[in-house]
Each structure stands twice: as structure tokens, then as C-alpha cells.
Structure 1
Amino acid sequence: MNKIVNYCQLALRCGKTSTGSDLIPSIQNQKAKLVVYSSACGLNRKKKLKDKCAYYKIECIELNELFFNQITQKNIQSLAITDQKFAEMIMNIEKG
């Protein structure tokens, strides 16, 4: 899981992510290639993210709260990776 956190941190530093109010529009515009959310997200937020990702055929990954909190110091619960290469690297690690 540490590699997923490292790639998410790198994508965040490179500006290849969407968070907050930009997250759902980036999914709808299909700019998001991968959505990563914390296990601490509320049930409504998880359902909304999963449904949007399923509709627009975007991969969605749930990370343990402890790992997700290591990504950034900001108080966020979910983020979208907008770069295809970062998304592919993270999905390869997730699938094993």
C-alpha cells in the first residue's frame, strides 16, 4: 500500500489530481482516470463516488483511512488522478 500512497503524493505534487468541488465535475468530464477515496468517507459520499465512477467507467479504489491520511496534510477524503500514467501505475499495484 505504501507505493499507492507514494504515487498519489507524487501526482498531487505534480498537479495531476482533482479534489473537493472539482472532483465530481472531473469525473463527469472524464478527466479523471482513477478515483481514490478513504475508508473514512461517509456512506453517501462512497455511494455517490462509486455510482459516478461506474456510470462513466472510471476505476475507483478505497484506501484504508491510515494510508489515505498519509497522502496529504490537507483534510480531504477523496481525490481523482487525472493523469493516465499515474492511474495505470496505481491500478497495477492494486491488482497485484
Structure 2
Amino acid sequence: MNRTKALNMLGLAMRAGKLVTGEEMTLKEIRNEKAALIILASDAGKNTQKKIKDKSSYYEIPLLDAFSTDEISAAIGKPRMVIGILDQGFARKVQELILG
């Protein structure tokens, strides 16, 4: 149930313009320290996972890999493996829903 709510929050954040999608755009926002939370698909490729995890760890940005590519894509309406939430409120709510 909370997974569904979290995915709905991602869709809401997308419509509100508070998300960046795709590997390059997300990496750019991590470097600019604008991303509040990174969502990485659990089935993303090894290179993508390493690159995103290393960057978010270095810049101390929380990362969740609780969703598949299909779940993320369905939630935001675009085929994506990596998204960054730019808004602290959305990021906090998604983390609460997933981590409890």
C-alpha cells in the first residue's frame, strides 16, 4: 500500500515539475546539490547503479532503489531508470512511505 502511495507521490512531483529524469540530468542535479532524493531502479545496469550510487554517496544525497524500471516509468509517464526529486517535501514523504 505504501509503495503505491510513494509511486503516486512521484507522479505528483513529476506534474509539479519537482523531478529530473534520466541519468545525465540527475547526475547534473546531484553535482549542483539540488537533488533531495535519488530514485534508482533496482534493475538498472551495473554501470548505471555504480555511477549513481557513488555520486549520491559522495554528495551525501539519500538514494532509494526500492522500485523497478517499470514501476518508476509507470509512475512518471516516461521510461526512466533514474530520477531525482528536487523538492525536500516530496523527498521526505517518499522516504517516509518506503522506509517507514
Single out whichever of 48-57 and 70-79 deviates more from structure 2: 70-79
Q: Report the Cα offset of residue 63 of structure 1.
A: 2.7
Q: Give % identity.
A: 33
Q: Which amino acid aligns with 2:32?
A: N
- Match of 1:41, SS? coil
Tell me the residue number matched to 1:54.
57
- Structure 2 CA distance for aligned equivalents of residues 30 and 3 of structure 1: 26
Among 41, 44, 68, the residue aligned to 2:44: 41
Tell me the residue number matched to 2:16.
14
Single out whichever of 12-21 and 64-73 deviates more from structure 2: 64-73
TM-score for both structures, normalised by structure 2: 0.88
Give 5+ residue unaligned stretches, structure 2: none
- Structure 2 CA distance for aligned equivalents of residues 45 and 70 of structure 1: 20
TM-score for both structures, normalised by structure 1: 0.92
Tell me the residue number matched to 2:67.
64
- Structure 2 CA distance for aligned equivalents of residues 64 and 2 of structure 1: 10
Give 5+ residue unaligned stretches, structure 1: none
Structural RMSD (CA): 1.2
- Structure 2 CA distance for aligned equivalents of residues 23 and 86 of structure 1: 16
